[in-house]
Amino acid sequence: MAPPDLPSVPNFHPSFTMLKATHKRRATSLSKALLTAGLLGAAALSTLGAGSAQAVVRFDCSFGASTAHTKCFNDPINPIDWTTGWTLVDKKLTNFGFDPIIPAGGPPSGDFSFIYDDFGAPGLSVEDMWTTLATFNPSLPPPSTGSYSYDLAIIEPYKSAGWMFKDVELDVDHAGSGQEVTKTIIGGGNPVLVSMDGDPVGPVPLSGTSISVTDSWDLDPATGTIMSISNTYTQTVPGPLPLLGAGAAFGFSRRIRNRIKGARLA
């Protein structure tokens, strides 16, 4: 079955802009695109070599004391309706929030992002990835425990065309030791992923078209901190799979995150 035509990304947030660049090397290009988009709160579009287009599109908002983007919650000028949420291609993110809303020690501060990487393939394919990224500034703690959650679903016409979740990966950018991050998913097979001291977990199989996700942390404030938590998703596609498998795509994504992490630390 042929994939449906890709819709335009609707209703970008006012903090959303577009950046274009041309690079010769795929890994260098995407790492620069992601890093630049992270700094600017923008969408990035790069061209990687003849005949191969690489798109990175993202939404961003700020929580707590961060002012990098429009606020995720209670913004009097540009409020984000989390019932409507954000839509990137075939996936819609809704109901983002923290539980408890004000954890012990005060609410965390930082930025939340929803990112789509097409990995140069035309249309949706097994290489395409959707990532949620919570970046804490200052790094956690405080508070030493807390969680955030969101719902993620495949929308029509892709749902009827047979698109489903395939994999999920948990990755934690950390320092020191004594951190535990647990990812709990309702739906999609109900997997639970646990990262100890920043170890990446996955990809772990998923299924279905709708999931509810909770990322929670528990850390020793005397020995460890958490800078960011990311969840990366791929999907199954109707018809023959492309040559590049999901495992290769996840490995490439992890290398990119390591490059970004090194650049930020430097």
The per-residue pLDDT for range 110-138, each reduced to its tens digit, is 999 999 988 766 566 777 899 999 999 98
Q: Please, what is the average pLDDT of the chain? A: 73
* Res 36 pLDDT > 80: no
pLDDT at 41 over 80: no
pTM: 0.72
Confidence of residue 105 (pLDDT cuts 50, 70, 90): low
- Would you say residue 159 has pLDDT above 80? yes
Q: Is the pLDDT of residue 11 over 70?
A: no
Of 247, 164, 252, nearest to 209 (Cα)? 164
38-61 burial, b if ≥16 CB within 10 A, otherwise e?
beebbbbbbbbeeeeebbbbbbbb
Position 32 pLDDT exceeds 60: no
Q: How far apart are CA 16 and CA 246, in angstroms?
A: 29
Beta-strand relationship, 179-186 and 86-88: unpaired
Residue for token digits 């809704």?
94
- Dist. CA 153–CA 232, nearest whole Å: 14
The predicted pLDDT at position 177 comes to: 76
Compute CA distances 244 → 48, 117, 235, 247, whole Å: 16, 14, 14, 8
